[in-house]
């Protein structure tokens, strides 16, 4: 790889040290387990339809997934694990009849909740209890959150989509690191999923996410546009 030269400020000096460490061998990035996980993921179309994940395995995926960041620590998300044959049969016809819905061990309905600043004190209470954040700082988070989201429906919805997407991404890479395939899906009828699975009025079905052991035939990750086409320095 090309080593990146970073020469300014203490933070960039730390970054430069990390890059230097990483670049010590030709294929250093290939030996970094996290980067390997990211680079080896691809969207799985074919799943082992005989495979199942236990409730505990599904809980682990969501527990690790919810370590993703959210604005003001809102954690404005919810996950429905569609894994019984009966629930899969209800979901598949409203998800473009995609076979992966019934083949994958589980399909998560990744739900974003409209950002609601009044939830900030409750979300921060465990942070205060853990001794991470002093209690007197809670209003310093709640007040700007109110300024950002109160009476701002578009922003509330944007935040629902952002949070849910971060959560889904964390589940995707957790799954990959455990040897499981996954595919995020927008091929579904959002209104039908909303009513069929009893989502609340402030909940948005942001995407479906199939997860499970794969069977043969999946494509590897597709080539991406060159970095030069997608990166600007400012």
Footprint of ligand FMN on this chain (CB under 6 A)? 42-43, 45, 98, 183-187, 207, 221-222
Q: Specify the residue, 70 or 98, whose C-beta has the smaller distance to ligand FMN.
A: 98
Q: Specify the residue, 135 or 186, whose C-beta has the smaller distance to ligand FMN.
A: 186
End-to-end CA distance of the chain: give it in Å, rounded: 23
Q: Specify the residue, 141 or 166, whose C-beta has the smaller distance to ligand FMN.
A: 166
Which residues lie closer than 8 Å to 129 by C-beta, 6 or more apart?
Answer: none
SS (H, E, C) the chain: CCCCCCCCCHHHHHHHHHHHHHCCCCCHHHHCHHHHHHHHCCECCCECCCCCCCHHHHHHHHHHHCCCCCHHHCCCEEEEEECCHHHHHHHHHHCCCCHHHHHCCEEEEEEEECCCHHHHHHHHHHHHHCCCCCHHHHHHHHHHHHHHHCCCHHHHHHHHHHHHHHHHHHHHHHHHHCCCEEEEECCCCHHHHHHHCCCCCCEEEEEEEEEECECCCCCCCCCCCCHHHHCCCC
Closest distance of CB 196 from ligand FMN, Å? 17
Residue nearest to ligand FMN (CB): 187
For residues 110 and 80, give the distance between their C-alpha atoms in angstroms, rounded to a whole number: 7
Closest distance of CB 61 from ligand FMN, Å? 18
Q: Specify the residue, 129 or 219, whose C-beta has the smaller distance to ligand FMN.
A: 219
Q: Is the dihedral of CA 97, 102, 104, 106 positive or negative?
A: positive
Closest distance of CB 96 from ligand FMN, Å? 7
Q: Specify the residue, 52 or 186, whose C-beta has the smaller distance to ligand FMN.
A: 186
Q: Specify the residue, 53 or 185, whose C-beta has the smaller distance to ligand FMN.
A: 185
User: Any bridge partners for residue 107, and if so which?
Assistant: 82, 210
Q: Specify the residue, 124 or 164, whose C-beta has the smaller distance to ligand FMN.
A: 164
């Amino acid at each position: 790889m090309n080593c990146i030269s970073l020469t300014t400020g203490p933070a960039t000096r730390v970054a430069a040290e990390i890059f230097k460490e990483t670049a010590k061998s030709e294929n250093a990035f290939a030996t970094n387990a996290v980067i390997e996980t990211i680079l080896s993921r691809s969207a799985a179309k074919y799943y082992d339809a005989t495979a199942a994940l236990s409730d505990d395995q599904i809980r682990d995926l969501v527990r690790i997934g919810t370590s993703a960041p959210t604005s003001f620590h809102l954690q404005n998300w919810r996950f429905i694990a569609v894994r019984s044959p009966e629930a899969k049969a209800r979901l598949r016809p409203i998800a473009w009849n995609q076979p992966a819905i019934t083949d994958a061990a589980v399909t998560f309905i990744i739900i974003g909740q409209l950002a609601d600043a009044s939830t900030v004190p409750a979300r921060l209470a465990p942070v205060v209890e853990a001794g991470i954040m002093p209690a007197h700082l809670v209003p310093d988070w709640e007040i700007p959150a109110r300024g950002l989201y109160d009476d701002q429906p578009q922003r509330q919805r944007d935040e629902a989509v952002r949070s849910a997407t971060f959560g889904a991404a964390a589940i995707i890479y957790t799954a990959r690191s455990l040897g499981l395939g996954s595919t995020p899906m927008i091929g579904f009828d959002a209104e039908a999923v909303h009513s069929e699975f009893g989502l609340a009025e402030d909940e948005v079905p942001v995407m479906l996410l199939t997860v499970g052991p794969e069977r043969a035939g999946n494509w590897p990750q597709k080539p991406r546009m060159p970095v030069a086409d997608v990166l600007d320095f400012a």
